[in-house]
Amino acid sequence: MTSLFDRPAWQLAIFGGVITGLAYQPWHLGFLAWIGLIPLLHIWLDHDANENARYGYVFGMTHNFIAFYWIGVNSGASFWVVLLSLIAAVLHLGIYWAVAGWILGRVKAYGNGLVLFPFLIVSMEWVRSFGALGFPWGNMVLSQLDFLPMIQIMEVTGSYGVTLWIALLNVILYILIQNFEPNKKLGYFLGILLLGLWFSGNSRMKGFNDSLTNMGVAVLQPNIDPNAKWDYKKRENTITYMDSLHSLAINLNPDLILFPETAFPAYLRLDRHVRGQIQSKVDSSGIPVLTGTVDRTKLPDGKKRYFNSSMFLTPNHKYILYNKLHLVPFAEYIPLSDQFPSLNMLNLGQGNFTHGSEYTVFEWKDIRFSNLICYESSIPEITREFIQQGAEMLTIQTNDGWLGKSAGPYQHYDVARIRAIENRVPVVRSANTGISGLILANGVSMKEQGLGEMAVFKVTVPLGATGSFYSRNGDVFAMICFVIFLLLGPIPCIRRRY
């Protein structure tokens, strides 16, 4: 390893980016994250602020390209739009690593860089989650779903607690490799601490499949080519096919039937014929349906607004609509288009949807649940709000068919497992082409329907006391890490300079 450190810094940055990128699914190489930050740490401790920014940017671009290359395989847009999306994402996400490196380069002389590093990485991830272009999907916890005991701390810390121990582990190993005598005892102490996390996590994983109250949910995975679904010539065939799957689901005698995102090629609220077909089966079976749809409203000035929605149909012709709150930037809308309407003139193949405004909690047989549509499952704040409003179960509707069999659908499924652990809530997921399944409140996947498979299956969801410290208090842990970093680095730096 020492000989590795003798290589040029740019090579170390690329090497570290590749290693950490490969730690993400679907490769099941999460342990690489435990060492992948070591090259970056060595660079940042050995160079000035400007060089740190440069090499941090190289690391960040490499890391994000390897981990999230699937952004560039979206079949729902033209080749050039998809390629530019990937390039823009890699360039944008690399900036956070560049800024983090620059900051450490400025303040490390006033504090121990080894101590500052873990709190800096947590702070960087936390800041990266803000705003319309926030990307909490990319947090390092996504690489650790094969080590469930180690990530149970998320019920208190959110994903940032996992980021902290990953960064700490990298620091420990770097200390031992470099044989820094004054810090050896610290390394051993932190190693014992991580073992404690493992064993305490094991104990916290028990009992989540035991419950006196259960809900049977029939899940549909139609496996329809998303490019063909809205082909007008195939519309009737698609509707007939979905109707047949609905019948299969009824035969399973569940308490709820869950369809995927935009399951029917119709505006269900406006299309009384198609909605009537679904409602007829709901009324005759007595089993409600939660299906994905699109909705359209007309404003007084004649302009139309479109929504990516879910419709909950219950017996006796009652239905509730939920409109997606967090849309995918540049895919479902153009950021800042509300403030600057002329931006809507851009044609990047986006949907030009409107954000929903209300958190909706559905209820059936005294069981309360909420639904996340696609990318919303990557936004922790939305899930927390649903739990605070009383949801005992989460459903997720998505269509990952645009991403084929790339890493995207696997990562998206693991994002749902993260939300389950953070909020101690069971999750049922219906995906058009997979991965559909049931996730317990400890992150254990009890059922996974693979990619590219048609299936209608029933899962029994154990219900209990949901919610956690994290559900109630949010990113307090990340804020504490941010404050610690300020107290140990920037504030002493500013005081000594002025």
The mean per-residue pLDDT over the stretch 39-43 comes to 97
- What token pair was written down for 166? 């990953």
Instruction: State yes or no: pLDDT of 143 exceeds 90.
Output: yes
Considering only CA atoms, which of 356, 411, 328, 349 is closest in space to residue 141?
411
Please tell me the distance from the alpha carbon of residue 265 to that of residue 324, in angstroms, as a whole number: 17
Please tell me the distance from the alpha carbon of residue 166 to that of residue 174, in angstroms, as a whole number: 12
The mean per-residue pLDDT over the stretch 110-135 comes to 91
Please tell me the distance from the alpha carbon of residue 79 to that of residue 86, in angstroms, as a whole number: 11
Question: Is 249 within 8 Å of 257 (Cβ atoms)?
Answer: yes
The mean per-residue pLDDT over the stretch 369-391 comes to 97
CATH classification for the domain delimited by 213-463, as one of 3.40.50.1400, 3.40.50.2300, 3.90.650.10, 3.60.110.10: 3.60.110.10
Considering only CA atoms, which of 145, 216, 67 is closest in space to residue 421?
145
Lowest-pLDDT range of 7-21, 129-143, 225-239, 303-317: 225-239
The mean per-residue pLDDT over the stretch 176-201 comes to 76
Calculate the alpha carbon distances from 488 to 103, 492, 498 in Å: 12, 7, 17
Q: What residues does CATH 3.60.110.10 cover in the chain?
A: 213-463
Q: In the predicted model, what is the mean pLDDT of the chain?
A: 91
Question: Is 268 within 8 Å of 277 (Cβ atoms)?
Answer: no
Question: Is 293 within 8 Å of 260 (Cβ atoms)?
Answer: no
Report pLDDT digits (tens) over 222-265.
999 888 888 888 899 999 999 999 999 999 999 999 999 999 99
Please report the pLDDT score of residue 166 as a whole number.
96
Residue 99 pLDDT grade (very low, low, confident, very high; cuts 50, 70, 90): very high
Question: Is 72 within 8 Å of 118 (Cβ atoms)?
Answer: no
Which ranges of 272-431 does DSSP label H, i.e. alpha helix?
272-285, 380-388, 407-423
Tally helices (H) and strands (E) across the chain.
18, 12
* Higher per-residue confidence, 498 vs 98: 98
* Omega prior to 87 cis, within 30 of 0: no
- Contacting residues for 416 by C-beta, under 8 A, at least 6 apart: 377, 396, 427, 429, 439
Tell me how crowded residue 460 is: count the other CB atoms within 10 A of its CB: 16
Please report the pLDDT score of residue 321 as a whole number.
97
Please report the pLDDT score of residue 478 as a whole number.
98
Calculate the alpha carbon distances from 46 to 4, 96, 374, 490 in Å: 14, 20, 42, 18
Please tell me the distance from the alpha carbon of residue 296 to that of residue 352, in angstroms, as a whole number: 12
Instruction: State yes or no: pLDDT of 340 exceeds 80.
Output: no
Q: How far apart are the first and last CA of the chain?
A: 40
Please report the pLDDT score of residue 338 as a whole number.
66
